[in-house]
Structure 1
């Protein structure tokens, strides 16, 4: 059992994807994450990719809500806010991804939290940052891909901008959120002081493009940052990219362009010398593409392996889940949902002393732990009954 964060309590006011996935990382490591949701449930319980549901649970819920206890609070009611304030007093971390200022209006923002618990770590995830000209704009992965340049560099010169096929910014933002909280916990351990941590989708998207932006901002700037032909990015030289074969696609990474020309038997008049691999990449890539499209994928793999040219076949999801290294790494695990149905989740991505954190709790029913959390806070049976009657707290069903 991985319990590196045992004894750490995280109070989570999170919805959508970045916030829930970020604190899920901490929950996997043994932190007691209390996920606070409104009585009707947070957004992740209502939207599902491909319109799929397992026993009524959405894919978005299953993706980012394991190993958490669920508490329902109506923060529009003073009694609900009072429960939240009591939880702050018992917590090490508050994590939230409302638009900036929402929790402040409820009396639960950073300054309010510090008065309740001076050493609190307050981690806020937002679309664009805690302040600035875009502070009130809706922040969502696709919008950020568009604004950050990510959709542009993922596109091609022939077809224009293209979105990444997953919520890449949300996922990277989640990792940064977890990393920021962990850094603040180290500070607290060393100094006894709390910290405010701010992570935004916009900054996460730019961080994802660190190599590209560094290349763009220094020296001569290109006229176009879209991918040229088969080449995988504007700042790469040939042959670096993805090429069609007779029966599939193959990625060619690092290796000598001269060696690749010899390996494929590219005619002399079509060859580009290795020292011109960047400046004449369009010509080089076109010659490679014209050659590979007449070969099978297996033939390409054999040739490239024989000559030490880095490559990989392009796999679809059916191939990925049966890949021997993926299976060996246990990147997916099947568990039982709260109702007993099998659900397959993406595993925690880091190993600790050779082990992967287990799923202690599958994503829970809304408010499943409301009763036990209130008991932990010292509410007696009569007080709990009063909270339920007023609608400040809800229980399952």
Structure 2
């Protein structure tokens, strides 16, 4: 399914947010050309938990599919000329370097949009393209700390807690794709390109829209930014959170005190008002924690389901892989990597006409399409061989 067929994207991205955004565009049918240094972009050479599969970094496997690869020395005159020729035929240019980096090569947003008025130039930065923090290094954990996300995560009895996934990077990627697709639509109407800027910082704020709006507009928070042990958040009432059972943990969603009293066999809650349940949540939550610990997760699921209280067992990644609903949705797909290993990928998360997009191209070896990309933009075979000999570009070895 080629929803973005005919759209060419030149990706100068590295690490996570930018490459993941480019991958999503490729999943949707865009022709994404990943331009990497001669020794490969960062994500090829650094892996989650130091793990490589058949010689391929897990980071690259996570963000490298649905693209073609060209390895190019942008510091050389010939390399910059090749990059310029690639950009000349592009609809979208993407990068996620610190502000000003691409301008050093004469390929900043102002440079390129002046030469190519229809071009959409998308930048993902840590803190934004301008401003007092613009040149700071941006990384997910740092932005969790600065945005209030970490301060509002974890129980009040302990320190702030980082989330178990790099959610800000992933959300930044989605916002980048949103901006690019909207700009492509607008260009069809106006004929003009556009600059798209997203940042980890503002993405982190966007992730917290509900609690931030409450906090900034006077919602009570007398006991601080985090809730007592087991309660989900600073604005949650007693019971709404994750609690230990006799054999695991269970998440219990918001419910009226009287309903919780029946479901959990806690008559002490029967006459408690919702306002009191929130105001005195620490003491009431201790009752709930003690009671939930007396039975198994399955027993509580049955009791909560019978009372109409939303709930879910706390599952690790092994259980998630076996989740029947995720299997139905096609959330994971297994394919043979370029290194010959069977790799399980996280699927493109959107369904189109009820269908999950298949993996059209697994992550490619560095420079796998160098020759064909150069030929497409008009270089003759002897010129390409000269570039290879002069180390302006690199190509993957023939299989």
**TM, length-normalised to structure 1:** 0.97
Structure 2 contact 257–271 (Cα < 8 Å) conserved: no
Describe how 1:242-321 pairs up with structure 2 within 5 A: 242-268=242-268, 272-321=272-321
Structure 1 counterpart of 2:196: 197
Cα distance per residue 1:82-120 (max 9 Å; x no partner): 111111110000010011100001101112112331110
Q: Quote the RMSD (CA, aligned, Å).
A: 1.3
Cα distance per residue 1:268-311 (max 9 Å; x no partner): 38973334222122122111111111111111111111111111
**Structure 1 residue ranges (4+ consecutive) displaced by more than 6 angstroms after TM superposition:** none
Cα distance per residue 1:188-209 (max 9 Å; x no partner): 1111110000000000001001
Structure 1 counterpart of 2:86: 87
Cα distance per residue 1:163-194 (max 9 Å; x no partner): 10010100011100110101111111111110
Structure 2 counterpart of 1:340: 340
1: CA distance between counterparts of 2:173 and 2:331? 18
Structure 1 counterpart of 2:184: 185
Structure 1 contact 256–309 (Cα < 8 Å) conserved: no
2: CA distance between counterparts of 1:18 and 1:387? 30
Structure 2 residue matching 1:189: 3-state secondary structure: helix
Structure 2 counterpart of 1:74: 73
The gaps in structure 2 that reach 5 residues or longer are none
Structure 1 residue 349 and structure 2 residue 338: aligned?
Answer: no
Structure 2 contact 9–94 (Cα < 8 Å) conserved: yes
Structure 2 contact 261–270 (Cα < 8 Å) conserved: no
Structure 2 residue matching 1:154: 3-state secondary structure: coil
Structure 1 residue matching 2:124: 3-state secondary structure: strand
Structure 2 contact 168–200 (Cα < 8 Å) conserved: yes
2: CA distance between counterparts of 1:377 and 1:206? 41
Structure 1 residue matching 2:318: 3-state secondary structure: helix
Structure 1 counterpart of 2:10: 11
Cα distance per residue 1:49-102 (max 9 Å; x no partner): 122111110000000110100011101001111111111110000010011100
The gaps in structure 1 that reach 5 residues or longer are none
Structure 1 residue 57 and structure 2 residue 56: aligned?
Answer: yes
Cα distance per residue 1:296-347 (max 9 Å; x no partner): 1111111111111111111111111111101111100000111321111000
2: CA distance between counterparts of 1:157 and 1:108? 48
Structure 1 contact 271–287 (Cα < 8 Å) conserved: no
2: CA distance between counterparts of 1:202 and 1:210? 13
1:134 shift after superposition: 1.1
Structure 2 counterpart of 1:395: 395
Structure 2 counterpart of 1:175: 174
